[in-house]
Structure 1
Amino acid sequence: MTRPHVFLVAAERSGDLLGAGLARELRELTGGEIRLSGIGGSAMADEGIVSQTSIDGLNILGWIDGLKAYKRVKQAVAEAVAAIVAAKPDSVVLIDSWGFTLRVARGVREADPSIRLVKYVGPQVFATRPGRAATLAATVDELLTILSFDAPFYAPHGLPVTFVGNPTLERLPTGDGPAFRSRHGIEAEETVLVVLLGSRPSEIRRMTGPFVAGLTRLKAAHPDLRLVMPVADPVADQVDAQIARHPVLAEAVRVAEDEKADAFAAADLALACSGTVVTELATAGVPTVTSYKLGWITWSLVRAFNLLKTPHISLVNIAADARIIPEVIQLSCTGANLAREVDALVTDKPRRDAISERLRAVTETLRGTGQASRRAAEAVLAGLSR
């Protein structure tokens, strides 16, 4: 019997991590009797999937950044489609990264309609651009969603949807806070603020200014506040450049991604660019102030066409339909506003404790039945038999 062949496609760090978890479970469920290939980053490479093309330069967000990277994206799409068609897998799993994976899906569908296409993590149609549900339904064979409330948006368009749960809520191991503090000379009574600038180069460019301004104010008000900066591997060079440029960042304990769980366990609170990491912080029960800025032209288009359909940007706030995590976005994203929101948490431990408890409760409901990567792998294998 021929081993099934599954091709995984991820274009940025969060998708790369999802792909790695999926690959592990596919191998375990089949006893290794499966062929895996794909396009991804270092996490998938650690699982033995050597990327068929580079994903450098694809970690982008927004129309303007997309236009700037158009040639690179167009080239990467062509390379990805060519690699998939040449490999002729039984199934392609397209992970997150809406713009890139949609173009790849369309290219593969046109070149070889016999290849099954599975989208893993759908576009956030509940928050913006609901028309994408119909677009996706016309392009792929199945959606594996990490959100329990996604399915009704796709049902009218006839797209089969399988809720697998959110692997992000399971991926981060329980950290050792006391050990982290001991390693880095942080006393038990000191207040630790974890700072995360973002996982995309564009985010680091936009968020560093207001973050630095806010942190400078906070350190002036609370000189003993200890800053900790876990840095994602793909953007380490960009973050390190900002650390070298700004004294308040240079004061921080800078750690690599492998210490993230321990850093979160040691944290009293966090200031983070909005994204997957905010959900990870919520899972660890870390009270967080989150922030985000789009490019001005992109933001103007969002406002002009009323594309933002939810009052919140953080998944935990959306799921709870409440502002558990303070959000400081766009025009409000200034050093003064960030400092004020963080300061309110620094000086109010009972509030931090209450937020921590609510965050753990909300993320527990988002987790689903657990073993999300395994459920995703089971769905992929079930699709192969249909």
Structure 2
Amino acid sequence: MRVFLVAGEPSGDRLGGSLMEGLCSLVPDVEFDGVGGPLMQAQGLNSRFPMSELSVMGLVEVLPKFFHLKRRIAETAQAVLDIKPDVLITIDSPDFSLRVAKIVKAQSNIRTVHYVAPTVWAWRPGRADKMAKVIDHVLALLPFEPAYMERAGMECDFVGHPVATEPVASDQEITNFRTAHELGDAPLLLALPGSRRGEVDRLAPVFGQALTLFLRDHPDMRVVVPTVSHMVDAVREHLKDWPGNPVVVDPRDLPTDQAVAEKRAAFASADLALAASGTVSLELAAQNTPMVIAYKLSWLTQKIAERMVKLKTVTLVNLVSDTHAVPERLLDDCTPELIFEALAEVYSNPKAQQTAMDVTMNRLGRGGEAPGLRAARAVLDRLPARHG
């Protein structure tokens, strides 16, 4: 069996790696091709080009890279057509993924699966209908998503999220992490300004100013900044203006499994986190780390988003638990002063988010079968050959 996969950012690489592991356990002779990051490469993928080229966020931010991305779309689609895999699985990054799928569908009958339902329930509700023209099957992370996808005419399975079944860092791992980074028993604040260059450039200065305010009241607190390989240098540049003698968790020289364990230990070690909006809120919830979510967009992207977004919360922990337990400081509210106030509130009552975090993990599959295996089985069960 041959599978072509495309992931465009670290969260997609995480999902892809788990899915590939599941496929390997069910189909021992499976072969992989496509585009992915270190976790997918650890499962046997030889990425056709660096996944980081696709890590672009925002309607305006894509424009400078438009022609390069267009070439990559054509190149990727042609590779799929040449290889003729049993299935094309695109993972998140819908602006890239669905364009690849459109070209492939126009010239072949190759089955297409998209992993991570686009947030049509949040904005661009017409996207599901357009998506149905090029996607046969959707793998959904959130339990309420299949209804939206099926209504548009696609097959859809809720498969849960891999973060829900990953281990919680042990006390020994936490101790080892603190020792390795000379943190002693100081309280720790985790800062996560994003995994894309645009995010980090927008958020890091605001985060640094907010932390300056917060650390005036908590001078013994240390700041820890986990990051992804392609953003280490950019993050370090911004940290020159940060307080708290920040520690960067650099994954570049570590084997993939050790880098994942190091990040998990960093999350579990923290007393509090300030993070960009995204999948990271689920990773924090998995390690029981209370958080504040903050995010801002470029001016034009924000103006467009304000007209399209239909949600009162964007944080996945809030959405899945149906609460507003995690404070958000978004768009115009993403200011040092308002972030500082939110951090102070959460730090004064760190257990306030625990129920919402527990509910989120349970609803995403904690205690059940690994979502990567569920996703793999869903892909295989719906392949036409499997129906006789």
Q: What range describes the TM-score normalised by the shorter chain of this pair?
A: over 0.9
Aligned residue number for residue 177 of structure 2: 180
* Counterpart check, 1:12 vs 2:13: no
* Counterpart check, 1:108 vs 2:104: yes
Aligned residue number for residue 269 of structure 1: 272
* Counterpart check, 1:365 vs 2:363: yes
C-alpha distance in 2 between matches for 1:174 and 1:284: 7
8 Å CA contact 2:189–2:222 kept in 1: the answer is yes
* Counterpart check, 1:79 vs 2:75: yes
Aligned to 1:195, what secondary structure does the other structure show? strand
Aligned residue number for residue 46 of structure 2: 50
8 Å CA contact 1:165–1:370 kept in 2: the answer is no
Letter in 1 for 2:5: L
Letter in 2 for 1:328: R
Aligned residue number for residue 379 of structure 1: 378
C-alpha distance in 2 between matches for 1:168 and 1:132: 26
8 Å CA contact 2:194–2:200 kept in 1: the answer is yes
* Counterpart check, 1:255 vs 2:249: yes
Q: Which moved more, 1:55-64 or 1:361-370?
A: 361-370
Aligned residue number for residue 154 of structure 1: 149
Q: Which moved more, 1:140-149 or 1:376-385?
A: 376-385
Question: What's the offset of the Cα at 1:54?
Answer: 3.5
Structure-2 change in CA distance of 1:247 and 1:352 (3 Å): closer
Cα deviation per residue 1:86-140 (whole Å; 9 max; x = unaligned)? 111111001110100010000111121x211011111011111111111111211
8 Å CA contact 1:64–1:295 kept in 2: the answer is yes
Question: What's the offset of the Cα at 1:237?
Answer: 2.0
Structure-2 change in CA distance of 1:377 and 1:166 (3 Å): same
8 Å CA contact 2:318–2:356 kept in 1: the answer is no
Aligned residue number for residue 255 of structure 2: none
1:279-294 equivalences under 5 Å are: 279-294=282-297
Aligned residue number for residue 344 of structure 1: 345
8 Å CA contact 1:172–1:280 kept in 2: the answer is no
Match of 1:92 among 88, 92, 104: 88
Question: What's the offset of the Cα at 1:180?
Answer: 2.1
C-alpha distance in 2 between matches for 1:291 and 1:359: 18
C-alpha distance in 2 between matches for 1:268 and 1:44: 31
Letter in 1 for 2:304: L
C-alpha distance in 2 between matches for 1:254 and 1:70: 32
Aligned to 1:286, what secondary structure does the other structure show? coil
Question: What's the offset of the Cα at 1:357?
Answer: 3.9
Aligned to 1:64, what secondary structure does the other structure show? coil
Aligned residue number for residue 121 of structure 1: 116
Aligned to 2:60, what secondary structure does the other structure show? helix
C-alpha distance in 1 between matches for 2:205 and 2:332: 13
Aligned residue number for residue 334 of structure 2: 333
* Counterpart check, 1:204 vs 2:200: yes
Structure-2 change in CA distance of 1:363 and 1:116 (3 Å): same
Aligned to 2:338, what secondary structure does the other structure show? helix
Q: TM-score, with normalisation over the residues of structure 2?
A: 0.92
Segments of 5+ residues of structure 1 without an aligned counterpart are none
1:126-141 equivalences under 5 Å are: 126-141=121-136
8 Å CA contact 1:8–1:38 kept in 2: the answer is yes
C-alpha distance in 2 between matches for 1:383 and 1:155: 14
Question: What's the offset of the Cα at 1:181?
Answer: 2.3
Question: What's the offset of the Cα at 1:247?
Answer: 4.3
Alpha carbon RMSD of aligned pairs, Å? 1.6
C-alpha distance in 1 between matches for 2:157 and 2:353: 31
C-alpha distance in 1 between matches for 2:355 and 2:247: 27
The number of residues matched between the two structures is: 373
8 Å CA contact 1:55–1:76 kept in 2: the answer is no
* Counterpart check, 1:300 vs 2:297: no
